A and B are shown apart, each in its own frame.
Chain A
Amino acid sequence: MGELRREIFDIVIIGAGPAGMAAAATACAAGAHAALVDDNGYAGGQIWRRANNARHGKSVLATRWINHLQRSAAGSGGLARLQQTRVVGMPRANVLLAESERGALEIHYDKLILATGARELFLPFPGWTHPRVMGAGGLQSLVKSGLPIVGRRVIVAGSGPLLLAVANYLRHAGAIVPLIAEQAHSAEILRFAAGLARTPAKLLQAALLRGGLIGTRYCADAWPLRAQESGGRLSVTLQIGKRRRVETADYLACGFGLVANVELAALAGCKFARPGCVAVDDCQETSVKHVFAAGELTGIGGVEKAIVEGQIAGLAAAGRTTQTARLFGNRDAALAFTARLEKAFTLRPELKTLAGPDEIICRCEDVTLGQLTIGDGDQTFHSLHDAKLHTRCGMGPCQGRICGPAVAFITGAENDLRIRPPILPARVATLAADGGA
């Protein structure tokens, strides 16, 4: 066994996105000795990724919470910032196993707040493995991390409000975005847009986005059918309503909404309200005592929900339960928005059949969709665990994070990939140091 560093805190928050930042700042203000752990080198999570050195439109909200966080870190109780530190397991009660450049680390806590956020949902269609086909948020994050996009032609496709945010960002960064293909039904989108009037901040955001997107067509009832190489660029075939359309582009940025990173919550034994959604009580506490969850983990609802849930979790974990009630109204509004979001952007069944049997579904092990079919008929494995045992689907280094939700959507199989530590590929040394957690 190697050397294992050990750090001890009252409250540990995993994830430095809006939810985790709000939780950390709030818990510290209430006097707790807390630590904020994130695998990135900066706070902000997915939305405020690199907000500190962003070239465009630094958000007021981001600035406010980044300042709060900095004050907490400097304050008396003190907030420890464990950056570039990835939690990979929970070897014992009240102990996390993490790793960073400096090696393995045990983090001890009394209370744990899970704010691990979400990732994009990717669905297979012919050509989805082409290197110029990326996630919508995926391409955005590459541009945020230095990829010049000036003059590049990008088709944005998939589903959800993220597509608008990404298109807007790419346009500001100099990309040409001729169209956004949104799979949702146009009637649902219109209803959703009308409902935005009930949430003023969202309305403002929507208006800003529209202003920035003149010249970009927003097509509902639209989705990618195929992407293929064409003279060093991509040729993308789209279904738009009843018509088909072929576009040439440098990149196809495509994501079908978000799925929460629930792996640690599952490992902790938290109960789920429904697949992909951790059950919490009024104080954001999960079914496991002293383990709280906030943000996308409890339902994909955007930044305002993440912040208010983080504040509530931070207060409750710090023992200020009575002070949480004043935030319930904000949370109710955020949850209502979450429900509308889910309804408007429900994935249409046509998306289940975009890929044929020869299309790769598991990108790590190159398992095809056809291999998931057993017998001679359309019968597929009932659960991902079954599929994994028989085909290696989900056995690769992403541990089923990409193919799992896709297979679950396409086949209706239960996404029951058994989470075993380490939940992310960990260095051998980390596991050895902990005696093979």
Chain B
Amino acid sequence: MPDTVVIIINGRPHQVAEQSTVAAALLTVGETLFRTSVSGQGRGPLCGMGICMECRVEIDGVPARLSCQTPVRSGMEVRTGG
């Protein structure tokens, strides 16, 4: 296991690889529903490169951050489903 950090996902701590983005970390722990679309569908990352905006989550209280473009940081709090 490479170096890990602990981040808080929906209120619960998870150990994730230090060298990963928030999107990769969420999928790794089995979280596939990143955001809720305007008609109520669960959505997750599509493009992986900061274009589609499907991977938006709340990070440290800031809504709609692109999880595919954001590296994890120890203690980071992530909320999905918004």
Q: Which of A264-289 contact B (CB under 8 A)?
A: none
| The stretch of A59-67, A138-146, A340-348 that contacts the partner chain | A138-146
A134 contacts which chain B residues (CB < 8 A)?
44-46, 48
Distance A146 CA – B20 CA, assembled complex (angstroms): 4
B37 contacts which chain A residues (CB < 8 A)?
129, 360, 363, 366
| The stretch of A68-76, A181-189, A325-333, A393-401 that contacts the partner chain | A393-401
Q: Which of B18-58 contact A (CB under 8 A)?
A: 19-21, 23-25, 27-28, 32-34, 37-39, 41-54, 56
Chain A contact-residue range equals: 35 or more
Please tell me which one of the listed residues B17, B42, B43, B68 contacts residue A142 in the complex, with CB atoms under 8 A apart: B68
Q: Which of A146-179 contact B (CB under 8 A)?
A: 146-148
Question: In angstroms, how far is the closest chain B Cβ from the Cβ of A124?
Answer: 12
Contact with B along A36-65 (1 / 0, CB 8 A): 000111000010000001000000000000
Asked if A131 contacts B51 (CB within 8 A), the reply is no
Distance A211 CA – B56 CA, assembled complex (angstroms): 38
Interface membership of A137, Cβ < 8 A: yes
Distance A142 CA – B56 CA, assembled complex (angstroms): 14
Please tell me which one of the listed residues A40, A147, A402 contacts residue B24 in the complex, with CB atoms under 8 A apart: A147
A402 and chain B: residue at smallest CB distance:
B52
Distance A364 CA – B46 CA, assembled complex (angstroms): 12
B48 contacts which chain A residues (CB < 8 A)?
134-135, 137-142, 145
Interface membership of A132, Cβ < 8 A: yes
Distance A120 CA – B21 CA, assembled complex (angstroms): 20
Question: In angstroms, how far is the closest chain A Cβ from the Cβ of B68?
Answer: 7
Distance A40 CA – B71 CA, assembled complex (angstroms): 11
A137 and chain B: residue at smallest CB distance:
B48
Interface membership of A365, Cβ < 8 A: yes
Please tell me which one of the listed residues B50, B64, B71 contacts residue A39 in the complex, with CB atoms under 8 A apart: B50
* Known contacts A135-B46, A135-B47, A135-B48; A142/B41 CB under 8 A: no
Contact with B along A367-402 (1 / 0, CB 8 A): 000000000000000000000000000001110011
A401 contacts which chain B residues (CB < 8 A)?
51-52
Which residues on B are within 8 Å of A, measured CB to CB? 16-17, 19-21, 23-25, 27-28, 32-34, 37-39, 41-54, 56, 64, 68-69, 71
